[in-house]
Structure 1
Amino acid sequence: MKMGIELEATPSVLDEKLTFVKVHMPWDVLCTYAEVLHIKLPIQPNDLSSRPSAWRYVSWVTKPFNPSEGRIGKEAEFFTAAFEKDRLDNFFVKDKDTFFTQAMRSRMAFYILSRAPYEIRGSIKKFGINKLLDGGVYRAAYPLHDSRFNVQSAEKGCNSERFLLYEEWAHPKSFYKMQPLDLIRKYYGEKIGIYFAWLGFYTVMLMLAAIVGLGCFIYGFKTQETSTWSKEVCDPEIGGKIVMCPQCDTCKYWTLNSTCNTSKKLCIFDNFGTLVFAVFMSVWVTLFLEFWKRYQAELEYQWDTVEFLEQEEPPRPEYEAKCIYERNNPVTGKVPYTACGRCFRISLGIGTIMLILASIVAITVYRLVVFITFSAKLRNHNLMDFEPIREYVTPQMATSVTASIISFVVIMILNMLYEKVAIWITDFELPRTKTDYENSLTLKMFLFQFVNYYSSCFYIAFFKGKAVGYPGDPVYLLGKYRNEECDPGGCLIELTTQLAIIMGGKAIWNNIQENLIFRYCTRSGSEKVKPRWEQDYQLQACSKLGLFYEYLEMVIQFGFVTLFVASFPLAPVLALINNLCEIRVDAWKFTTQFRRIVPEKAQDIGAWQPILQGVAILAVASNAMIIAFTSDMIPRLVYYWSFSVYPYGEHANNTMEGYINSSLSIFNISDFKRNPRNTNILLPYNFTTCRYRDFRYPPGHPREYEQNAYYWHVIAAKMAFIIVVEHIVYFTKFILSYVIPDVPYKVKEQMKREKYLTQVILHETNLKLAWATDGLGAPCGPQSHFVWPSR
């Protein structure tokens, strides 16, 4: 009250022990703190003629997808300037009641409340409503909604912006409409607005990626029956006569054609279209980030955050409570600026990363144990002798599906554990301000989630089947578990299965969780009887971290779409479907279930921007390595373009005939050391050798079971492919980032025009004062600073 605001206490109509304190902001206080916070307000309508859009001829196509113009009209464009109370006449004040928006009023009120001093025990001074909330003096502090979400306010002069947002944005019937971003920003503030702008832009860009990815999938689906290597695997005269070596110490011998269905499915994802799509996605992610910068620059200008001045944040209550040492604040020069041994706390907190490494080892060991268990079950129960099971179920397929499902469950469990660990570490580090706390937690949570969600995918893509030795001398993990091998077609189909289950399961789980946890608040009494502030009190309080979990969910999804897209071209399609639901679910939560959030200014998406850029850079190397080391594309290309004769097959006329035979090495069963020939094998013919996936010399050769020349040719081709593709893509990314300016030319023109008007309009007063007289009547004209002679 000493700072100029008015307080009004009102008892609750439902709880006699509850009292609401309403905060009113008089006009003079609003003007004062609008100047303190450097809030930009209109000075003159925008007089720059807008250039005709190239899309104006097809506007009739997009018109049905826009919000209803009768309800949400296009806001007038103004040039703005930082508010100055002494120059109020220079600002475009049409109505004092609407000059400051509701979001501006709430922001100024919270600024005062968060800095208002109070005393306890007569001498100890404290600051801010946050400290009182943390101590339980007040139960909550929140801005009021302007009306009920499903009923337009009957109060005269009330805009019912919440009702408009629900009808045109959050209601299920409006799922196909574009988001009213200006109204979202006006009602919730720039920080909420920039999140939904980014989410909407990301979803629109996903449409292009989804179309190309779906086309790649259809191409693979159509060509799976005509694939030469798939035909050879399924051919009884070729794949049916190739006896494969056991892939574990308790496994049986098996014929290659038992993986016929797996081979056909592999052809859907492992084809030359996938290579094109991987390169396309590497370029797409660059275009996405560059065009987002341009779109973000437009929003910065439209929402007046171009020269946004960050205010000095007050310390967090937890920081003040635990810090006892004081020193001068280097920014404000005031005391206290407490110090709490930050280096020691950060160093100690980093040690908990060992928990993540332990979980990775545990999941890897699990996969090995499950593979051995399934193989033993199939052997003991003779399931492989039953034709339908032998045709559709293999140890590799059973392990892949079940391990992916269990891995997803483990990921969800570890997700909760890592979240608590990340929060604990950040709390222990004791960041000084809310922004410092959010940035520190953002980095930790992303690293934890990165390892949690992607570790199994990286294992399958780059480690599984890479160090297995050969049947006579396999490699054992911890001296006990034999390293699991890939299917003869490679690990790509297993990586695809893993991605589909984790990505799809995560999207389904998140949507179910949000719809079940966030429910309509319990209503007691009539809505017409309860006042607005009491209705809002019964809504759910927003998390202290705000949009943190919303961003985290989308950034993890962005990683799935970009890092492993070479193995799963349908990832953008799944992401697009999920995001279309996510936008409406988030809109529904904010509009109907949450109390109104304190509006905050924001120029960009904060710490998530460099994280996205890091993921985009890593995605190029990841996809290149997946194509080189996980898929079978490079060995096929080497076979196709080679004219040499290799030990196990003859290549002629640039066809793929004989590729399967050439990609399998021969092993003499009598050379087994730890796995003698299985006498229970039921095959219609006798055999003395078996085949395995590798490029090694055959038994009897002077260098038997050593890698042959073909192996080194393939390795060289893989390394060359990675180097060439990475350099081409990175060079393309550099050219695109250089050619596409971060700020559109139109926005630059408007910014220059705005600065000019600010100088002309707001500083004319200074020019007039320069020629005015002082209190004694003496002229106060400009002093001479330059003198030059004249004739």
Structure 2
Amino acid sequence: MGDPDVLEMVQHEERRGSRDADDAFETNEPSLGSRETSLLIGEETLFKKDKQSKDSIFFRDGIRQIDFVLSYVDDIKKEGDLKAERRKEFEHNLRKTGLELEIEDKTNSEDGKTYFVKIHAPWEVLATYAEVLGIKMPIKESDIPRPEKVPFSYMLGPLKLPRNVKHPHPEYFTAQFTRHRQELFLIDDKSSFFPSSSRNRIVYYILSRCPFGVEEGKKKFGIERLLTSHTYSSAYPLHDGQYWKPSEPSHPVNERYMLCQNWARFSYFYKEQPLDLIRNYYGEKIGIYFVFLGFYTEMLLFAAIVGLACFIYGLLSMHSSTRSTEICDPEIGGQIIMCPLCDLVCEFWRLNSTCLASKVSHLFDNESTVFFAIFMGIWVTLFLEFWKQRQARLEYEWDLVDFEEEQQQLQLRPEFEAMCKHRKMNPVTKEMEPYLPLHRRIPWYFLSGATVTLWMALVIASMVSVIVYRLAVFATFASFMESEASLKHVKSILTPQITTSLTGSCLNFIVILILNFFYEKISAWITKMEIPRTYQEYESSLTLKMFLFQFVNFYSSCFYVAFFKGKFVGYPGKYTYMFNVWRSEECDPGGCLIELTTQLTIIMTGKQIFGNIKEAIYPFVLNWWRRRKARTNSEKLYSRWEQDHDLESFGSLGLFYEYLETVIQFGFVTLFVASFPLAPLLAFLNNAIEIRVDAWKLTTQYRRPVAAKAHSIGVWQDILYGMAVLSVASNAFIVAFTSDIIPRLVYLYAYSTNTSDPLKGYVNNSLSVFLVADLPNYTAPSEKRDFTTCRYRDYRYPPEHDQKYSHNMQYWHVLAAKMTFIIVMEHIVFLVKFLLAWMIPDVPKDVLERIKREKLMTVKIIHDFELNKLKENLQMDSNEFAKEVMIQENKVQLAKSTI
């Protein structure tokens, strides 16, 4: 307990009143009997399996609960002795901090080669580090009633969980735990006062800062470094028990079983989540992720309903569309001869060969597209504003209101401390803390920036390669599909554009997955080399790298189709060429929106299906194989710690990838939703399954993660806000430049002469005329036809005009209308966004009142406790006592005025 090395590491971690806790910790020596017991436990050799259940989570005495487990195997290589010495020193220092260890010999393990070190944190250690970490514990049951039921809540009865599952514990007034006020807290049983999530968090805090030796003048410490060097093979807290059966009466409540029964079942996909139970078992950081995912899914339901209504409108109006009717009409579309889609090998073709493609395009390119784009701009604002309210309510309910400024900014990463040789005064805490000069980090910052830039350039290069592939195979598809049959009014949905788009999108999706796999490994290594100071800085740095790359990786092809494809094609006789070899891609006569829909559908659904299969099958197969290798069907006990050891590790970045997956999906739902109104519905269905997949794998296939605190979703919230703003602009540009809505509206109001059907003649109006004789020899079809003119999609003067093939006035009218629409739509949506953000408070009024009430009651309870303590412990005359009472009353009044 008095080891100076350990105490030195602990001291600079405490920033908020922790110096007093350390002083008390140094003087609070355990009894000799306790120390001798902990030292002798590791020397116990025989293990009588008939005296212990295989589901036991206790030491052999059946009393001390196992809070953490370390495992290792003997290393016969030359580094084996060094690793053994490190383990011996590490475990010796753990015992000095007060932790109690019990070692299981490899002969007792099922595989016959794995040692297990079981760790128990006694009350003195838990109390000390609870004070160091600022853990809040109950001091009195709350008299603030839970929020009243919403109107018509009886209709949501099938979606609700039983009350004892939804709220497994009553609400309490809480205060930060301090040892000198232990009587203030509701301590019925010291062994169960701290929940298992808090216990494993405390033990991991000690493990991550415990030294194991000195090399080259540098102190080596931390379980993570020992895991990296394979000194230990794993470190994990235990699950409560089996997930398929409740615990025995003598054991604590098996919350893992409760979660499996009420949360991790796929048949419960329609029910609410037991959020308090998730928080109690896994900690706030994992809990808040599931709160966010659930809230996001609920909000997606409204967008999915509106999107489905827009799709149904397009489906019902598909056969009445004037544009599709004219394209499919043999007397209109069948008589329009289109110019070749590629040089030499492509022939002329009739417009009605794209009949079915034009009808499918109408599903997503109709009047409801504009409405849905505006609706989604408003929806994303409501989602983010209501999420801020939900998050504020969660901070109150989970005692996280003051968490960030008191804790998260102050906890240093052990890796950062290990690399620091210098110390400097913290101007806030006035304490000496580790300091790493900037010149040590700059080279890694440059390398990090160069790596991210290089990989994003690689993504762009791969996208260009896919474009080249599409251009190269387009001629093959065109020559195969646009034969004489296309001139005989054969209708096919598999036009060269659609066929090439389908194959190109599938190829692009495969390239995305490959690049993403390699970049994940590199970005994690680069971030580690930057030596971030705190865990928050580490996650923020990694988040920025990963998001920038995945943004480019997943969205670049969609941006290309939406804003570049078909925009710089030129016209017959003067086409633009990529690398002076391949002719630029053209859009279908109905526009590029159907191709954007195809690209978005393949990438979005492919990523979601692949992600769910990987998340469900990958850990299941690994665990099955690990158990198969470990089990020898012997008579040895397959203990609780061995069962958990054979599970997959969730890892420190497990939650990071879950957030990243959700945010990338959010981008698909918002950035390009004008082209695919079914995107929210697909996202909603995926998330309903995703919640249960994540719950199932966490509860049954993964070791229990170390509990961690978080008061929000962190930097992801800023990313969501940025994407929300970008989505307004992207959808406005998609409607204006990718959709065919604006040209149709210009024709309707400025050029149509038909009063009965204003859009009649639009198809002919949108196609310009080109003289076949003006085609250069290197672009004209090799097989000559008796056509004097052909048509192409553009607004240009005909050959007989003085300014032939230059843009006509209608082109400028359409362009002006597109720019006007973008400006008007953006201003309308942004105005509504700002109004909603101003009208909806970040913190609900009832939450503010409850926070004030709890602060007031906490001050009063502490005041009464101190007052009673004064009465009991101090012998003073009536005047002195009255004076002390007055001082305490003044403190309460001051606290009230502050609140």
Task: Look up the match of 2:567.
Answer: 466
Task: Look up the match of 2:767.
Answer: 664
Q: What are the Cα deviations for residues 245-273 of structure 1, in whole angstroms up to 9, with x where unaligned?
A: 11221321111111111110111100111
From 55, 78, 95, give the equivalent of 2:172: 78
CA-CA distance at 1:17 after TM superposition: 4.5
Amino acid aligned to 2:832: T
**C-alpha contact (below 8 Å) 1:384/1:390 kept by paired residues:** no
Q: What are the Cα deviations for residues 496-542 of structure 1, in whole angstroms up to 9, with x where unaligned?
A: 01111111111111122222211144431489932222221111122
From 434, 437, 444, give the equivalent of 2:545: 444
Task: Look up the match of 2:83.
Answer: none
Q: Distance in 2 between matches of 1:713 and 1:527?
A: 85
Equivalent positions of 1:720-735 (< 5 A) are 720-735=820-835
Residue 814 of structure 2 corresponds to residue 717 of structure 1: no
Task: Look up the match of 1:698.
Answer: 798
SS in 1 for 2:356: helix
From 408, 411, 418, give the equivalent of 1:313: 411
Amino acid aligned to 2:358: S
CA-CA distance at 1:137 after TM superposition: 2.7
From 633, 653, 665, give the equivalent of 1:557: 665
From 456, 460, 466, give the equivalent of 1:360: 460
Amino acid aligned to 1:109: V
SS in 2 for 1:569: coil
**C-alpha contact (below 8 Å) 2:263/2:274 kept by paired residues:** yes
Equivalent positions of 1:255-334 (< 5 A) are 255-308=350-403, 309-310=406-407, 312-317=410-415, 319=416, 323=419, 325-328=421-424, 330=426, 333-334=431-432
Q: Distance in 1 between matches of 2:166 and 2:329?
A: 64
Q: Distance in 1 between matches of 2:681 and 2:886?
A: 71
From 404, 411, 427, give the equivalent of 2:512: 411
Residue 128 of structure 2 corresponds to residue 32 of structure 1: yes
**C-alpha contact (below 8 Å) 1:212/1:277 kept by paired residues:** yes
SS in 2 for 1:7: strand
Q: Which runs of 5+ in 2 are unaligned?
A: 1-94, 891-899
SS in 1 for 2:831: helix
Q: Distance in 2 between matches of 1:332 and 1:549?
A: 37
Seen in structure 2, the aligned counterparts of structure 1 residues 389 and 48 have a Cα distance that, compared at 3 Å, is same
From 676, 684, 699, give the equivalent of 1:591: 699
Q: Percent sequence identity over matched residues?
A: 50
Seen in structure 2, the aligned counterparts of structure 1 residues 336 and 398 have a Cα distance that, compared at 3 Å, is same
Task: Look up the match of 2:325.
Answer: 231
Amino acid aligned to 1:351: A
Q: Distance in 1 between matches of 2:642 and 2:886?
A: 65
Seen in structure 2, the aligned counterparts of structure 1 residues 289 and 674 have a Cα distance that, compared at 3 Å, is farther
TM-score between the two structures when normalised by the length of structure 2: 0.81
Q: Distance in 2 between matches of 1:293 and 1:465?
A: 41
Task: Look up the match of 1:9.
Answer: 103
Task: Look up the match of 1:338.
Answer: 436
From 7, 18, 33, give the equivalent of 2:114: 18
From 309, 327, 333, give the equivalent of 1:215: 309
Q: Distance in 2 between matches of 1:391 and 1:783?
A: 91
Q: Distance in 2 between matches of 1:170 and 1:635?
A: 51
CA-CA distance at 1:210 after TM superposition: 0.9
**C-alpha contact (below 8 Å) 1:629/1:718 kept by paired residues:** yes
Task: Look up the match of 1:351.
Answer: 450
**C-alpha contact (below 8 Å) 1:248/1:484 kept by paired residues:** no
Seen in structure 2, the aligned counterparts of structure 1 residues 575 and 329 have a Cα distance that, compared at 3 Å, is farther
Count of residues in correspondence between the two structures: 774
**C-alpha contact (below 8 Å) 1:169/1:179 kept by paired residues:** yes
Which is worse superposed, 129-138 or 385-394? 385-394
SS in 1 for 2:781: coil
CA-CA distance at 1:453 after TM superposition: 0.6
Task: Look up the match of 1:641.
Answer: 749
From 37, 48, 57, give the equivalent of 2:144: 48
Q: Distance in 1 between matches of 2:461 and 2:645?
A: 47
Seen in structure 2, the aligned counterparts of structure 1 residues 354 and 427 have a Cα distance that, compared at 3 Å, is same
CA-CA distance at 1:702 after TM superposition: 1.7
**C-alpha contact (below 8 Å) 1:371/1:395 kept by paired residues:** no
Amino acid aligned to 1:473: K
Q: What are the Cα deviations for residues 280-309 of structure 1, in whole angstroms up to 9, with x where unaligned?
A: 111111111111111111111111111112
Amino acid aligned to 2:606: G
Q: Distance in 2 between matches of 1:31 and 1:528?
A: 37
Amino acid aligned to 2:317: T
Amino acid aligned to 2:791: R
**C-alpha contact (below 8 Å) 1:771/1:782 kept by paired residues:** no
SS in 2 for 1:701: coil
CA-CA distance at 1:370 after TM superposition: 2.6
Seen in structure 2, the aligned counterparts of structure 1 residues 409 and 604 have a Cα distance that, compared at 3 Å, is same
TM-score between the two structures when normalised by the length of structure 1: 0.92
Greater helix share, structure number: 2
Task: Look up the match of 2:654.
Answer: 546
**C-alpha contact (below 8 Å) 2:339/2:572 kept by paired residues:** yes
CA-CA distance at 1:745 after TM superposition: 1.3
Amino acid aligned to 2:542: L
Q: Distance in 2 between matches of 1:180 and 1:384?
A: 64
Which is worse superposed, 517-526 or 615-624? 517-526
Which is worse superposed, 283-292 or 432-441? 432-441
Residue 524 of structure 2 corresponds to residue 423 of structure 1: yes
Which is worse superposed, 534-543 or 212-221? 534-543
- Cα RMSD of the aligned pairs, angstroms, is 2.7
Amino acid aligned to 1:370: R
**C-alpha contact (below 8 Å) 2:264/2:696 kept by paired residues:** yes
Task: Look up the match of 2:74.
Answer: none
Which is worse superposed, 414-423 or 146-155? 414-423
Q: Distance in 1 between matches of 2:643 and 2:789?
A: 78
CA-CA distance at 1:768 after TM superposition: 6.4
Amino acid aligned to 1:19: Y
Q: Distance in 2 between matches of 1:719 and 1:749?
A: 48
Equivalent positions of 1:381-780 (< 5 A) are 383=483, 385=485, 391-519=492-620, 520-521=623-624, 522-523=626-627, 524=631, 525=633, 529-642=637-750, 644=751, 650=753, 652=755, 655-675=758-778, 677-678=780-781, 680=783, 686-766=786-866, 779=880
Q: Distance in 1 between matches of 2:854 and 2:165?
A: 30
Q: Which runs of 5+ in 1 are unaligned?
A: 787-791
SS in 2 for 1:690: strand
Seen in structure 2, the aligned counterparts of structure 1 residues 710 and 653 have a Cα distance that, compared at 3 Å, is farther
Amino acid aligned to 1:343: I
**C-alpha contact (below 8 Å) 1:167/1:174 kept by paired residues:** no
Q: What are the Cα deviations for residues 467-499 of structure 1, in whole angstroms up to 9, with x where unaligned?
A: 111112111122222111111111000000111
CA-CA distance at 1:409 after TM superposition: 1.1
Q: Distance in 1 between matches of 2:125 and 2:670?
A: 50
Amino acid aligned to 1:119: G
**C-alpha contact (below 8 Å) 1:640/1:654 kept by paired residues:** no
**C-alpha contact (below 8 Å) 1:316/1:434 kept by paired residues:** no
CA-CA distance at 1:733 after TM superposition: 0.7
Q: Distance in 2 between matches of 1:564 and 1:122?
A: 56
Seen in structure 2, the aligned counterparts of structure 1 residues 371 and 124 have a Cα distance that, compared at 3 Å, is closer
Which is worse superposed, 476-485 or 511-520? 511-520
**C-alpha contact (below 8 Å) 1:639/1:651 kept by paired residues:** no
Q: Distance in 1 between matches of 2:756 and 2:737?
A: 26
SS in 2 for 1:518: helix
